[in-house]
Chains A and B, each alone.
Chain A
Amino acid sequence: MVDPIGAGLIALSAAIAVSATGIAAALGEQVIGSAAIGVMAEDEGFFGRGLVMTVIPESIVIFGLVVALILLFVTLPSI
């Protein structure tokens, strides 16, 4: 029998993992994105590289997503 409070706490942890890292990634992308737009005003050819640099902080939220996935699909079924 699954402990409902424990299950709830795990689900909540998963939510925190995704949302907190999402905010962190957004903060990072905000800075890089505006800098990239600034460079693009000088040199249009920077678009490709700028786009890639802008998604670099996305790793943070992806790690958060992985933690959430493990919590929901590995830890939760095992308790």
Chain B
Amino acid sequence: MFEPQPMTKVIIAGSKDYMNIAIGAMHKHDVVHIADFVDEDEDFKIGKPQASITRLSERAVSLRSIASYLSIKGKEDIPSKYPDDTIIDTIDVKTEQLDVEVTQVTDRISEIESKIKDIKDKKRLLEPLKSFDLPLDLYTGYQSLAVFVGTSKGVPIISDITNDYELETTPYGRGHAISLFVPREFEDDVLKRLQEQGYATLSLPKLEGVPKDILVDLDVQLTELQSEKQKSEADLSDLRQKHIEYILASDEYLSIETQKAEAPLRFATTKNTFIVEGWVPTKDLELVQRDMEDVTNGHVIVDADSSEVADVEKIPVALKNPLPSRPLEVLIRAFSIPKYNEIDPTKLMTFMYPALFGLMLGDIGYGAIVIALGLLVSRRVKSEGMRNLAMIGVYAGMFSIIFGFVFNEFFGVEAFGHAGLLPFIVYPAVPRLENVLNLLIATFIIGILMLTLGYILGFVNEYKQHGLKHAVFAKVSWLCMLWGGALVIALILPSLSSGTGIQLTLGLVVGLAVAVVGFIFLIMGEGMIGLTELPTLLSNVLSYSRLLSIGVSSTGIALAVNKLSYALFFSKGGVFVIFGVLLLIAGHGINTALGILDSGLQALRLHYVEFFTKFYRGGGVKYKPFGFERKYTEEK
């Protein structure tokens, strides 16, 4: 029930003449997990890729550069799949033609862009001189005159150097634009004076006319160029529109063909034969065998290899879970894939994870929000990981609502009962803030039960992997200490807290005896080093108290938001009601976000750290069948 997909080891072998046909057949079925051949020796060599690989990669490079010009990301949806036989015939010609078309347009665009940049540069240079009426060509070409054109912070005073000058200034930006004509003999002195004022030269473009007129002219050119650029960009998006399906499909086709052409690199080959070692899900074995026989006329055989006991570490693992449990596989994968002979905890987590989440975020209102958010994300978002998380959110929200009824909470307000929103419905609820001690004990019981389940699963795993003796020492020991210790603490705690003496009852003796037996098993199994692990047992159980404390904090925040908005706004009435509503929305929004993040992470932690460590190691090899999940093409 908790095992992954059963796998069978296969040897696929045959004549090299039929290798390509065999690769095609394997690829089509998408079920053979190839174990890469690495140990070359005198007889067996790693295979060589097919000759077509160079051409395929060249095509792929040019196609992908076209795709990036057309900003095709490779994740777009297309209405119908492309039959791949039409691609095979046309790909060479069509890719080249596309390349030419696209390059034409992109070249034009970059030409226009460089022109636009040029004009903008000129505009930037002429802008300061806008209010000077001197034609541009009169700023240069003098023998006896030095000309300074530029910008400066302040206006320079040069009357003490010479009175023979012509200065024009106009405010520009934070400083001034200046044009200054002086006899050449004063050039150096004047320049120094200018530099004191933060002077920067403008290197004027070679144009004719008054700056103001030139600027108007440049603006006209700029508008023209920009509309031209827009037109070219429209051409480009027309091209994208027209060819996107073809580009996506042929990119996929090239990926598939490259994958096939590179496949021999994973095979063992001799002069005339090839051998593939791999794994096939047992249910698909017969299909692959029959099909391979048909397409190669029996020249390639698929042989189920049961000769040697397979190394469990190397068997690929495909998780096998019913549809409702599948979203939870994300959480298992984030931790580690189980080994082939290990229990896959996904099904257990399907109930336990949302239940722990619901215990923490137990509120009818918040639960409804979580469900709504989950449904929204799973509808709108394409990424599979996010969708799985959203589905987990929906499960978790359901448990939040269930526990919301138990705790009688609706956005921190009492929902039912005499003081509640709906006073006519009365049932025995357990409000969290009034039952802290009882609920705390309940969380410890949940912890003990979950750890017990963990140790039982661990026992099964150890029994399967290392035998009964090891399983008893490693897991029963801890189980005994857990229950014995729990019994002892439960019995002596009341007398400890009330201060009366401890009475030696039968229960206490039994508890102590069980714990001691567990302790002896532990020492026998692990030696004295096992002692260092003892405190973790206590901290693991105590760790489950977060189920209560996070829940109470979230209730506390909700309560604070409600009380604040009443005291500050609702009690005053009038316009203040609007502010009150805003505060309620913001407060509960933040609390929901905190609740989802914290409850989600802490529930996950209780699984990863407290629960999984009792039985789960992971580290399995992920099942990756040789094949391709076609999205844009279909095989004809």
Contacts and interface: CB of A to CB of B under 8 A. Distances in A.
Nearest to B608: A52
Given A52-B608, A59-B543, A69 B602 contact: no
Given A55-B602, A62-B546, A69 B440 contact: yes
B605 A52 contact: yes
A69 B432 CA distance: 11
B550 A73 contact: no
A15 interface: no
A35 interface: no
A77 B28 CA distance: 72
A69 B549 contact: yes
A69 B550 CA distance: 11
Interface in B321-341: 331, 334-335
B548 A69 contact: yes
Give the interface residue-count category, chain B: 20 to 34
A36 to B, nearest CB: 13
Contacts of A70: 436-437, 440
Interface string A35-59: 0000000000000110110011011
Interface string B541-567: 011011011101100000000000000
Contacts of A66: 440, 542, 545, 548-549
14 contacts: A52-B601, A52-B608, A55-B602, A58-B602, A59-B539, A62-B543, A62-B549, A65-B553, A66-B545, A69-B436, A69-B549, A70-B436, A70-B437, A73-B437
Contacts of B436: 69-70, 73-74
A51 B548 contact: no
B553 A52 contact: no
B545 A62 contact: yes
Contacts of A59: 539, 543, 546
Interface in B423-462: 433, 436-437, 440
Contacts of B440: 66, 69-70
Contacts of A49: 334-335
Interface residues of A, number: 16
Interface string A59-79: 100110110011001100000
B437 A52 contact: no
A25 B550 CA distance: 15
From A52, A55, A70, A74, name the one whose CB has the most chain B CB atoms within 10 angstroms. A52
Contacts of B609: 52, 56
Contacts of B552: 65, 69
Interface of B: 331, 334-335, 433, 436-437, 440, 539, 542-543, 545-546, 548-550, 552-553, 601-602, 604-605, 608-609
A63 to B, nearest CB: 7
- Which 10 residue pairs spanning A and B have beta carbons closest together? A48-B334, A73-B436, A65-B549, A62-B546, A66-B545, A74-B437, A55-B601, A62-B549, A69-B436, A66-B549
Contact of B605 (A56, A63, A65, A69): A56
Contacts of B608: 52
Nearest to A59: B543
B543 to A, nearest CB: 6
Nearest to A74: B437
Contacts of A62: 543, 545-546, 549-550
Nearest to B604: A52
Given A69-B440, A70-B436, A73-B433, A63 B602 contact: no
Nearest to A73: B436
Contacts of A55: 601-602, 605
A74 B439 CA distance: 12
A62 B539 CA distance: 12
A51 B545 contact: no
Nearest to B434: A73
From A69, A73, A74, name the one whose CB has the most chain B CB atoms within 10 angstroms. A69
Given A51-B601, A58-B602, A66-B549, 10 more contacts: A48-B331, A49-B335, A55-B601, A58-B605, A65-B549, A65-B552, A66-B440, A69-B548, A69-B552, A74-B436
Contacts of B550: 62
B201 to A, nearest CB: 46
Interface in A1-60: 48-49, 51-52, 55-56, 58-59
